[in-house]
Structure formats: structure tokens, C-alpha cells
Structure 1
Amino acid sequence: MVLLAHVIGSLYGCLAIVFGAFGAHALKKTLTDEQLKSFETGIKYQMYHAILLIVLGFNLNLEAGVEKYMVYCFMLGTFLFSFSIYGLVLGNSKGLKVKFLGPVTPIGGLLLVVGWGLLLYSFVKEWV
């Protein structure tokens, strides 16, 4: 599980840099300011959680049930949240109807919140 967290975290980090450069250079001319801001939000959340996955992999053994679910929430939540934003922004900029992605973003966000809640729980349970 640690290896998976490291691999996915590294992949997300790498892609965040690629998408950030793509957004800053290629998309800056074609996206509105609002669309660019949304795209950048996806990149920021992706990078934050990429770093988090790598740090968790170094600091936890990720074998306990809570830790596994937490990592799965971060991996899936990041994918659903950030990549649905990318799809919505790019689709809208090309005039495509990608409304089916609209509900995906909050589901990803909810998974991220659950992941952070599980991380909090893993810390607090040590006090109780």
C-alpha cells in the first residue's frame, strides 16, 4: 500500500506540473479568467494531495483499515475532483457539453473530506 501511495502521489505530482505548464502557456490564450482559475484550482488540489500521499507513505505503514481507506479516499477523490474540473473547463472552452462531469467534482471533494477526516481520526484515536 505504501508503494501504491508513492506511485500515485508521484504520478499526480508529475501531472500537476505538466497541467500547470499547459495551463500557463497553451491554455492562457484560449480560456477565460474564470476557466483558468478553475483549472488552477484542480492543479492546486492535485499537487496538495500528491504531496500528502507521498508524506503519508513515508510516515505511516498504511496497513490498518483506517489508513487504507484514507489513502483510497485521497487517491480517488483527487482523481474525481481535479480531473473532472479539467474535463469541465476544457470541454466548455471547446463548446462541448460535458454536464455529466458536474456532479463528479463534489463527489471527489467529498472523498477528500472523508480522507482528511480519517487522517484526523487516526491522530485523535491515539489520545482516547
Structure 2
Amino acid sequence: MKVFIIIGAINAMVAVACGAFGAHALEARLEPKYLDVWKTGVTYQMFHALGIIAIGILSGNVPASSLLSWSGWLMTAGIIIFSGSLYILSTSGIKILGAITPIGGVAFIVGWFLLILFAIRQL
């Protein structure tokens, strides 16, 4: 589906911008621990943006699949919850957000699992 290519590309663009922001604007303002947290958010956002783009490309070349669609939406939710919570945690220091981050991680894992199931069944 074209929507996943767009969502993935937007997230890749945002990941690059966040990476640059972290390297240039936050480096002098954050403790090294929190800068590492920021970088983790950027890394996971970029990897999953590329996964979402791949899902979009696959969707355009195979019959419609709920496994593929759910995989893309879970990766998108994972970016918002996982990376988003890490961005907020690193800039605000609100430690309770660390409890939310694993929810995004589970969304990533389930998204990749559904992509595996799709590949086993359809490809």
C-alpha cells in the first residue's frame, strides 16, 4: 500500500532530522546517558521506517494481506510509542516514560513476527 511507503519515508526523514538535532543541538545540553537514549530512539525509528517502506513495496506486489497491513501498522505504532517515549524521556527526564517504551518494543516484535508469517504463507 502506498500509505506505508509514505509513512515509512516520513519516519525516515524524521529520524534523520532527530539524529541531526541530537548531534548538534542536544549534545551540549543532555547528559551522555540521555543522549544515548535519544540515539536509541533515532536508530529504532530508522530501522522500522525502512521496514515500513519494505511493507509498502511488498503490498504493491502481492494480493492484499491483513498480516502485511497489521505488520505495517504495528511498526508505525512502535515508532510512536518506543521512539517517541525515548525522545520525551531523554529531553524531559520523566522516568515513568521508561515504563511505556516496552509497549512500543512489543509492537515492533509483533510487527516483524507478522511479516515472517506473511512471508511463510504468501511468498
Alpha carbon RMSD of aligned pairs, Å? 1.6
Determine the C-alpha separation between the residues in 2 that align with 1:22 and 1:126. 41
Partner of 2:22: 23
How many positions carry a matched residue from both structures? 121
Determine the C-alpha separation between the residues in 2 that align with 1:54 and 1:22. 23
Q: Is the 8 A contact 2:78 2:107 kept in 1?
A: yes
Task: Summarize deviations over 1:53-100 as a string: whole Å, max 9, x none.
Answer: 1122112347211111111111111111001000011001xxxx462x
Determine the C-alpha separation between the residues in 1 that align with 2:115 and 2:101. 21
Q: Is the 8 A contact 2:85 2:98 kept in 1?
A: yes
Determine the C-alpha separation between the residues in 2 that align with 1:112 and 1:48. 10
Determine the C-alpha separation between the residues in 1 that align with 2:121 and 2:9. 29
**One-letter code of the match for 1:78?**
I
- When structure 1 is superposed on structure 2, of 61-70 and 26-35 the one drifting more is 61-70
Identity %: 33
Q: Is the 8 A contact 2:55 2:68 kept in 1?
A: no
Q: Is the 8 A contact 2:9 2:49 kept in 1?
A: yes
1:121 to 2:117 alignment: yes
TM-score of the superposed pair, with normalisation by structure 1:
0.87
Partner of 1:81: 82
Deviation of 1:126 (Å): 4.6
TM-score of the superposed pair, with normalisation by structure 2:
0.90
